[in-house]
Each structure stands twice: as C-alpha cells, then as structure tokens.
Amino acid sequence: MATQSVHADIAPLAQVLKALGEPNRLRIVNLLMEGVQCNCELGSALDMAPNLISHHLRVLREIGLVQVERDALDARWLYYSLNVEMLTQLSETFGHFFDASRIRERLPACGPQATHLPRAELVVGAT
Amino acid sequence: MATQSVHADIAPLAQVLKALGEPNRLRIVNLLMEGVQCNCELGSALDMAPNLISHHLRVLREIGLVQVERDALDARWLYYSLNVEMLTQLSETFGHFFDASRIRERLPACGPQATHLPRAELVVGAT
DNA sequence: AAACTAATTCGATGGTTGTTGAAGCATAGC
DNA sequence: GCTATGCTTCAACAACCATCGAATTAGTTT
C-alpha cells in the first residue's frame, strides 16, 4: 500500500464532509453511535418523518458510513448501523488532514516583503 | 468546567463540517497548511477569480478557522493563515465525535425481537 | 489631483438540496 | 384473496449556495 498522503484527493473527502455537514444527518450518526436502530426509532428520536429519515440514511449510505441489515424474522424491518471500518478510516483521515502540526512556516510569495526574501525552498514540484 | 461531552451541541459542528465540505474551500485550507498566503496566490494556485477566493475565505473566517493580517508596508495586501488553536481544537473535536470506540452494542428497541434474541441470530445480509 | 492595484462587495443566475405529501413496494398476518 | 405495517420512491416546492460579472472600497504611486 502506498504511503498515505494528505494530498491524495480532497474531492472525496469534501464529499464526506458535505454529507456530515447537515445537522439532521449528524444527529443520525450520533444516534447510531448508540447502536443499531431502525428507521422508526430514528424518526421518533429526531421527530422527523420516515421518508426524510430514509433520505438522509441514503446519503450516509452512499458515502459508506452507514450500512443496513434486514430482520430475519420480519423482513419489513431494516436495521441501520455505522460501518466501523469506514468510521475508523474516516477518523484517521480527519486526523491527518487537519493535523495542526502540518502547518508550515512560510512567507507569502506575493507582496512587498516577498521580494527580498529567499524562497527557493518554497518552490515545490513542477513549474 | 463541564465535562466535554460529544452531545454538546452538534449544530456548530455541523456548520464547520458544512463549511469544509466544499471542494474549493477544502483546497484553500490545504494550501494554507503550507503557510501564509494572499488572495492572489490562492487564486493563481486554484485558478479561481479573486472575488470567489474572497467569498470562500469569508466562510472559513466565519467559522474561525482562517485569520487575516494586513501587510505593514503595503496595506493593500492581506495575508491569510490558519488559526492554529482553532485547528487543534477542531481536530480534537473530530477525533472525539467520530471515535469508532464510541459505538455501543445495542439491540433495536423496535422490531419483532426487540429485546429477546442475541444479536448473532438477529439479522441476515442486505445491501 | 488622477491612475493603478489588491481585495471586497453587490446583483443576478443556475444548480443543488432539504423538506413535504402522496404514491409505490415488499412483507406479514388474516 | 384482502388489509396492515415498515420503509422507500416519486414529484413538487422553497431555500440555500457556488459562480460570474460589474461596481465599490481602501491603499499606493506618480
């Protein structure tokens, strides 16, 4: 496996952050931290219509954070839960991307103070 | 001080996630990890118009993640950088909220086998 | 004074999206 | 067969938001 870089691609990370950046969805994730729950439970806990719960669960499922299982005795019931591996990987990605120790000291390449300062070391990669 | 709970309020957390859940904003944050930069630098790096850069920087500034400073010699230049304390606190909040060890084992309170059967016999696979 | 520069703010637009109500689907029980 | 249940999907609407162009502010230079 390649060394994990922060620069990987930030588009999928942005997609996950966007999905989580919705209050009701974040509440759903928080509730799923308590364990498996069905649609009706989430709906009553959040005072939301089941179709709306279903909509948000769909978004969370599309980013792989939520998984669903069907009851063995009564297949009408769907049980939603968090994908542990996905959550672990997500937490790790966040920890790396938003690590404050990543911040480097750097003077702006533009502006009046940039002219008389050496910044050859700032040049990265291609031209 | 109060014991830091995850339940604190998820509305502000959702706001931060929403602000970061935009690809261009996330790119700006990633660039600011390299150090102080001005509007024009970010704009040329991301190939975006200065007014658009200004818009996204404004959003990042409203959540406290980005701070701005004015050049001492030429006050026309604004230098943007990341708020280290805010980023540290943010990373910590993420680490707590999305900690996979928070997930608890719990049987659904609804359904035909609400509190009866052990979880192993509970479910079958589903998409 | 005017002209130039860096950046912001304004106005308008097109696309996205959360929310709502009704309909549809699949399963279970009669 | 029929009805009830749990959940999803559809259609429509309203609000939000990223993007663009033009105008504006603030500061510097000539």
B69-82 pLDDT, tens digit each: 999 999 999 999 99
Q: Which of A16, A26, A93, A98 to mutate to test the interface with B (most CBs of B within 10 A)?
A: A98
CA dist., res. B61 & res. A65, Å (int): 29
| B112 within some domain | no
Instruction: Give me the number of domains chain A comprises.
Output: 1
> Is B126 within the bounds of a domain?
no
Q: Residue A6's closest CA among B7, B34, B43?
A: B34
Average pLDDT of chain A is 88
Range of the domain at A114: 10-122
Does residue B1 sit within a domain? no
Encoded tokens for B63: 């959540």
Residue B43 lies in a domain: yes
In a domain, A29, yes or no: yes
CATH code, domain carrying A63: 1.10.10.10
Q: What is residue B16's predicted lDDT score, i.e. its pLDDT?
A: 98
Residue A20 lies in a domain: yes
Asked whether residue B51, judged by its CB, lies under 7 Å from any atom of the DNA or RNA strand C, the reply is: yes
Average confidence (pLDDT) over A43-64:
98
Report the amino acid identity of residue A57.
L
| Inter-residue contact A31 to A42 (CB < 8 Å) | yes
- Nucleotide nearest A58, from its CA to each C1': D8
The reply to whether the CB atom of residue A55 sits less than 7 A from any atom in nucleic acid chain D is yes
Nearest nucleotide relative to B112: CA against C1': C28
More confidently predicted of B108 and B76: B76
Tokens of A6: 């922060």
- pLDDT band per the 50, 70, 90 thresholds, residue A50: very high
**Run of H or E including B123:** strand B123-124
pLDDT value for B120: 45
Residue A85 lies in a domain: yes
What was the pLDDT predicted at A119?
A: 41
Q: Does any domain span residue B49? A: yes
| Distance, CA of B125 to CA of A40 (rounded, Å) | 20
